[in-house]
Chain A
């Protein structure tokens, strides 16, 4: 069965420090992976995606993600966190057989000044 796991409900980091938000997935075939961010009382916004090619994907607002096929992971990273990065982050995977999407449970990122 297709699934996405975000093992951390919450990640706390100090402003200026690097951040990592973890995501692991289970999907048949080649994975199509996405990261989205949700600010309070807003819909989700796209950050980045991995379809094929380079394992390091760069996205919006300085975020990047590393695809690791052997570990079935797609961790979101940023070299230097900002207070304004505080939000809820979702990892998602597309089911290649049925055009369906599976989202993780979300990770709340808290960046403290």
Chain B
């Protein structure tokens, strides 16, 4: 079945460091891919999305490129801030699945001043 695999956390970085969180997926067909972020005590917020191969999603300095050849959608940010500390989830939505999202396990990011 369809699945998403994320790098395990926690990821601990100093402010202004470069961030990469790896995400790979398994799916039939051409899924849409998403990154969501969850702050403590809150629900999930959509960070960015990509709906077809080679699309680049971007938002608030975060970027991810849909790579069909490597089935990957890695999240990157050039300079993280303390306020980026949260849990990040990679997710896919398969065509024909309506709005069903399949999530990775989540990666906790802690950014220190």
| A in complex with B | no
Where the two chains meet, the residues of B that have a C-beta atom closer than 8 Å to any C-beta of A are none
Where the two chains meet, the residues of A that have a C-beta atom closer than 8 Å to any C-beta of B are none
